[in-house]
Every structure is written in structure tokens, then in C-alpha cells.
Amino acid sequence: VCKPALVNIADLPTPALVVDLAAFEHNVTTMGAAWPGTSLRPHVKAWKCTSLARRLHERGHVGFCCATVREIDGMLAAGLGDDLLLANQVVGVNAKRLGDVVARADGRVTVAVDSDATIDAAAAAHVEEVLVDVNVGMPRCGCAPDDAGRLADRARAAGLTVRGVMGYEGHLMMEGAATKAEKVEAAMAILLRAHEAVGGDVVSGGGTGTYATNRWVTELQAGSFALMDTDYGRLGSPFRQALHLHTTVISVGRKWAVLDAGLKAIAMDHGNPTVADGDVWFVSDEHTTYAPAEGGALPRVGDHVRVVPAHVDPTIAKHERMHLVDGEEIVDVWDIDLRHW
Amino acid sequence: VCKPALVNIADLPTPALVVDLAAFEHNVTTMGAAWPGTSLRPHVKAWKCTSLARRLHERGHVGFCCATVREIDGMLAAGLGDDLLLANQVVGVNAKRLGDVVARADGRVTVAVDSDATIDAAAAAHVEEVLVDVNVGMPRCGCAPDDAGRLADRARAAGLTVRGVMGYEGHLMMEGAATKAEKVEAAMAILLRAHEAVGGDVVSGGGTGTYATNRWVTELQAGSFALMDTDYGRLGSPFRQALHLHTTVISVGRKWAVLDAGLKAIAMDHGNPTVADGDVWFVSDEHTTYAPAEGGALPRVGDHVRVVPAHVDPTIAKHERMHLVDGEEIVDVWDIDLRHW
């Protein structure tokens, strides 16, 4: 991927992903104060970018979570493989790929297991270390809590080192403040009971939405905090919106304007993106139609407008690179080099 | 991009995009019977793939629609530039890029204009031919119908050749059968009145959702028909579902199973994807959680499951390549080489 010469933001083709470097640094500092060093295991899936990961590594967060074999492969190749956790299950072809990646690279790779099949796949792939993934209330991956001890025994019998447990309380990330502490404690009580049966040093879990609530894990799996989105922004945390899409107004109608960024540039699973002082009407493949907020003037064709996505992870995965800015000046360009599978 | 050796579908890493070659050929034949030769102007944005475009070119559909400068650039580079229409507005940096692309390539490029600014940008970029884009009822791009004649005069005064008009009745693609014909006729009446004021040979519009209804355009701008999605599938057209995601079951819970394809592999703007004989509960970054339909058995870890997306265009834009299959055998691999902007 060729990097454009560093220029002013106004010289960028649109749409383009832009990161406010000061906001990013603020977010990293804020999270690092709460979860210093290896107590934070940043989740690579949120931004799929070794350049960003390296900034966290420099702050002492040298262990990372990954969600795909490609992320593991890329992090190892970038020399960021001190302690990688594939916090996801792999079997079949993907387990074989993971084995190939681990065999040829220097680095430490631990993989999540939650079933006999995933334990057998890890052993067959010659991955040496595992965490037992425990379901703590969200219907996704993770074994039944009562089964965690048996799975740990099976893993050890298969020659694997069991480092501990992980459990992701994803269903509580957006829980309201009044009930969040109580519900997170209950979910983590499930994880801690499983940990007693499993053993090991690691209790891994949590995310940006529970960074201030979860006091039970030994390491927090958070990624979105670094760049943020409007969904997590609703929680009122100290993290600042660091990411936006730089777009151009390409058409102006009677009451609306059209931007040149659409479904291929912006993830829609958490709802419409946000335009400052505007109401987004709808998003098409390559367009966003919006109207100025009550009383506001329509922009002019050629104007630039900032669009903020509702969900950071799948938005970033649509782009080739992000542009780091100090005000209007582009100071760095980071390839989004861990995309796909 | 390296192409995997041609293998059986079961040997693919997951998730992977798969295209049923027979269904694709059926769709192309069916559309070609209704809109032969250059009366069909296939829309590249739906699949962003020069290999697929070449199949249509071989059938005599030698003119194409594009939505981005990157698509124009790639189609020209692939030798598919007989008659390309950038059916979208460009100004500023992107207009300059379009000019650079046109200047260095052999081929014919026409660009849509709907304002003084986009006409001036086209002239400055030394694009020679334009269509006047007319709003026919959807609040997106397109000039006010009454302004089309003035814009055509302005374009000719700027030295541009005005080939005619385009107008996309996108708001009527999913209109019910009872009212579709009447509403499409009304929208096209707007376009035809504008065409009288503009002149030229071309009246461009329509899409997969109105391919059987729109009798007024001289060329149909359709793309989704080639591969289809569950949204267009609801219309009951003769086009077959040719695209699916090949996924692996990585975890099985009490009542649900988890697939290794999520928001980064499947576009969500038209709603959840579909799993045969299953109900999709929710989609996460790298997972889809679903339950078997009433009475169905849970799958086993390692099983492969087909996922069909609700919206083809932004789903394909998430992937590097698609795998063409005849049954379980992979017979070709097509790079999705026109992604990004």
C-alpha cells in the first residue's frame, strides 16, 4: 500500500478516515492510568493496525487480544508477539492456519477454547497455551460455566498449558449506570467460580464499556477506547472521539445535502452515523443524505463535512489506512494492515 | 493478492465469499434477454470486480456504470473502458483524480453532473462528456428537473458534450407490485421532460428492482441481479441467489450456534443475514449467533453453514476475493479489485 505524501487534510481524496492524534493520545493515557502495563490487553480487532498497536506497546501494554488468524499473523510479523491471545475459537482450516503461523514465528500465542473440538484443534495445531473461554451471560462463544473444569483437565491431558479463563460480558457494555456494577459483578462471579475449577494466573475479560466497572479480571480486553464511536460516546466516559470520516459535499438539494461516503465507508450495525449540526436521513452505497439541523444553512458543493461512525470496529475494517492529524495537518498515515481473515 | 490453488470449498479458510457459477450465468442470461447489449449498463459498484465485468462484456454489455474514481481507473486499466459512466458527482480532489485517470488512459468516460460546481469540475478535469443527473423523487443527487435544461446549456458553454440525462428511481426499487408500474412511470415522466430540455441520445436509469417495470430508459443501470441478496430476493424476480458466505461453526451453546463471520464480513444496513433453517439472533464483529429453526438440531463444531447477506454491494466490498463454484468444486477465483475510492 503506498502512502500519500503527508499533506493538509483538505488535499485528501474523500472519503478518508482521519484520527485526531491528541484525542488518541488522551484516550491511551486515560486508559493506561486505570489499567497500566499488562493489566490492559488491547483488542486489535477494534482497529486492525500494527502502527496503532505499536503505540500501545510503547506504553507498556505488550500483550494483545486478536480475533482472527490474520491478526495473529500480522502482529507476529510486526514484532508485536510478546503475548498474543486469540480470544476466539478456531477449528478446521483456520486451526491449521494458526498452527502454521505459530510454527514459523517467534512469539507467544494463546488461544481460547470452549469445547472438546477446539481443544483437540489447538493440540493438533501445536499451539502450546490456552484459556478456557466461559459463557458469562451473552449467547455467543464460551463453555457452560460448570464445564470449565472438565475442559481444563482435557486440555492438560492433551499436553496444553492452561493459563486461566476468559469471559466477555459483552451484553453489559451498554448497560445503564444504575445497574451496571451489580450485573457486571454477577457475570464476573460466574467467571471467578469457573476460574477456581480451571486454575492458572489469568482472568481475562471486560471492554471499553466496563473499564471502570469490572474490578475482577486480571486483564482488560478493550480496544474501542483508543478511537471511540458515537455508541460508546453515549456512556459519558472520559474517552474522546478521535476518529471521523473526512467527506465532501457532492450535491445539494432543496432541503438536504449529499456526502460522498456511504455504506462502503461507514458501518451501519449500530445505526446511522452522525454529522455535526445535521440530521442524517439515510445512507446509500456511496452517499449519506442529511439535512442541517433546524435553522442551519445548507452547505455548498465542495465543502468538507465530518462524519462520525456509530461503530468503530467494522467502520475501520472498510478502509485501507487512517490519517493522523494535528489540527488540519496530516502528521502520519497508518496502514490498516490486519484486515480480512 | 495471491490466489489460493483451486480446491474444494471445504478447504477454504472461513469466512469466504462463494459464488454459484450456474446461478450467476442464469442471472446474466435472464437480464440479457430483457436488456440486451448496450441497453444494459451494468453497475460495477455492486461487485467491484473486473473479472465479473469481463463476463458481462463478453455478452455484449460493453458499457458500464461506476460509482467511484477507483472503479473508473480499474475498469480502464482492465481494458473495459469502451463506455464508462461515472454515475456520481465529483468535485475537488476527486475531480482532479478523475481528470488524471482520463488523461492517461484509453477509453470513453462520461460523468454525471447536477450543479454548476460539478459542471465546472468536469470541465476543469478535461472530462469531455457528461450526463445531466436529474432528481426523480429520491432525496439524493440529481438537479431539480426544471433546472436540467439550464445546466445542459451551461455544460455545452463550458465545452462539454451533453449525452443526455440520468435519473435513478432508487426509492421505488422495493415498491410493491400493485403500485410500482404507476410510480415508476411517474418518476420517468419527470426524467423524460428533463430530457426534452437537455437533448442527447441517452436516458439512463433503473436498477435490478425495476428491470421489468421501467420501459422508458434507453439503458438500465443494474448490478445486483448478477449475484443477488435476500432483500432483492423478496421481490420474487427470476434472478437466483448466487452469492453466499461459507462459514464454520466455532461454538455451540445450549440453544444456539456461533459462526465465524460477523460485521466485518456481512453488511447489516438491510438487516440480518439469513441462515438456512435457522433464525439469526445477532451479529457481532466476527460472529453470527443463530438458532436452528423450530425442531431443528444444533450443528456440530466444525460444520460449515451458508450465510446469505441482505445487501450484496456493501458485503462484497468487505472481501478480497470471491470463489466461483460448481457444486463443491472451486473453478475460479475473482479478485474484488475495485474496492475503496
Identify the burial level of B1 via C-beta atoms within 10 angstroms of its C-beta, where 0-12 means exposed, 13-18 middle and 19 or more buried. exposed
B115, B258, B318: residue with CB nearest A141: B258
pLDDT tens column, B38-85: 999 999 999 999 999 999 999 999 999 999 999 999 999 999 999 999
* Dihedral sign (CA B257, B262, B263, B267): negative
Q: Report whether B66 contacts B44 (CB < 8 A).
A: yes
Beta strand B243-252 with B304-308 is: antiparallel
A71 — contact with chain B (CB < 8 Å)? Answer: no
Residue of B nearest to A116 (CA): B301
Bridge partners for A244 per DSSP: A18
Q: What angle do CA A277, B137, B113 make, to 5 degrees?
A: 75
CA distance A317 to chain B (A): 6
Does the distance separating the beta carbons of B283 and A269 come in below 8 Å? yes
A141 touches chain B (CB under 8 A): yes
Contact A263 B314 (CB under 8 A): yes
A140 touches chain B (CB under 8 A): yes
Cβ-defined contact of B93 to A12 (cutoff 8 Å)? yes
- B341 part of contact set with chain A, CB < 8 Å: yes
Q: Using a CB–CB cutoff of 8 Å, tell me whether A7 touches chain B.
A: no
Contact A93 B170 (CB under 8 A): no
Name the band, by pLDDT with cuts 50, 70 and 90, for residue B1.
Answer: very low
**How near does any CA of chain A get to the CA of B253, in Å?**
7
Contact B302 A91 (CB under 8 A): yes
DSSP string, A52-94: HHHHHHHTT--EEEESSHHHHHHHHHTT--SEEEE-S---HHH
One-letter amino acid of A53: A
**How many Å apart are CA A15 and CA A307, to the nearest integer?**
10
- Selecting from A89, A287, A319 the residue whose C-beta is nearest the C-beta of B250 gives A89
Cβ distance of B91 and A250 shorter than 8 Å: yes
With beta carbons under 8 A apart, name residues in chain A contacting B15.
341
Residue A1 — pLDDT band, cuts 50, 70, 90?
very low
For the record, the C-alpha cell of B335 comes out as 479478485
Residue A148 has pLDDT above 90, yes or no: yes
Neighbours of A320 (CB within 10 A): 16
Contact state of A314 with B256 under an 8 Å Cβ cutoff: no
B83 forms bridges with which residues in the sheet?
B63
H or E element at residue B233 = helix B230-233
Query: Does residue B303 have a pLDDT over 90?
Result: yes
Does residue A167 surpass a pLDDT of 80? yes
Closest residue in chain A to residue B317, using alpha carbons only:
A264
- Name the residue facing B135 among A253, A319, A320 (closest C-beta): A253
Query: How far is Cα B68 from Cα B50, in angstroms, rounded to an integer?
Result: 14
Q: What residues of A are in contact with residue B221 (Cβ under 8 Å)?
A: none
B-chain residues near A258 (CB < 8 A): 89, 140-141
Mean predicted confidence (pLDDT) in A57-83: 98
CB contact under 8 A, A135 and B253: yes
Contacts of A268 in chain B (CB under 8 A): 267-269
- CB contacts < 8 A, A to B, total 172
Whether B67 contacts chain A with CB within 8 A:
yes
A157 touches chain B (CB under 8 A): no
Q: Which helix (H) or strand (E) holds A138?
A: none
What confidence score (pLDDT) does residue B4 get? 52
Nearest to B268 among A12, A135, A268 (CB): A268
Whether the per-residue pLDDT at A2 is higher than 60: the answer is no
Q: Where are the alpha helices (DSSP H) in B158-221?
A: 177-198
Q: Which residues between 197 and 256 in chain B have a beta carbon less than 8 angstroms from any beta carbon of chain A? A: 248, 250-256
For residue A188, pLDDT beyond 50: yes
Partner residue opposite B251 with nearest CB, options A141, A265, A281: A141
- Range B245-263 average pLDDT: 98
Distance CA B233, CA B229 (A): 6
Query: What pLDDT, on the 0 to 100 scale, is given for residue A3?
Result: 54
Closest chain B C-alpha to A155 CA, distance in angstroms: 16
Residue A301, pLDDT above cutoff 80: yes
Q: What is the pLDDT of residues B6-45, one digit of tens each?
A: 689 999 999 999 999 999 999 999 999 999 999 999 999 9
**Is A289 part of the contact surface with chain B (CB cutoff 8 Å)?**
yes
- B118 secondary structure, DSSP code: H
- CB of A92 less than 8 A from some CB of B: yes
Averaged pLDDT, B329-338: 97
Q: According to the model, what pLDDT value does residue B7 have? A: 87
Residue A15 · residue A246 · CB < 8 Å:
yes
Report yes or no: B148 at the A interface, CB cutoff 8 Å: no
With cell 464480513, the residue in question is: B265
Predicted pLDDT at A146: 98
Chain B residues whose beta carbon lies within 8 Å of the beta carbon of residue A229: none
Beta strands in A278-326 (DSSP E): 278-283, 288-292, 304-308, 321-326
Which chain A residue lies closest to B271 (C-alpha atoms)? A269
Residues of A251-270 as b/e, b for ≥16 C-beta within 10 angstroms?
bbbeebbbbbbbbbbbbbbb
Look at A139 and B289 and tell me if their CB atoms are within 8 Å: yes
- Measured distance CA(B26)–CA(B238) in Å, rounded: 9
Question: What percentage of chain A has pLDDT greater than the value 90?
Answer: 96
**Lateral strand order in the sheet of A161-167:** A63-66, A83-86, A109-113, A129-133, A161-167, A202-205, A219-220
- The Cα A288–Cα B269 span in angstroms is 13
Q: In chain A, whose CA is at the least distance from the CA of B116? A: A301
Q: What is the pLDDT of residue B25?
A: 98
- Asked if A140 lies within 8 A of B287 by C-beta distance, the reply is yes
Inter-chain contact B115–A301, Cβ cutoff 8 Å? yes
Retrieve residue B169's grid coordinates: 428511481
Cell numbers given for B57: 462484456
Considering the entire predicted model, what is its pTM? 0.96
Contact with chain B for residue A154, Cβ under 8 A:
no
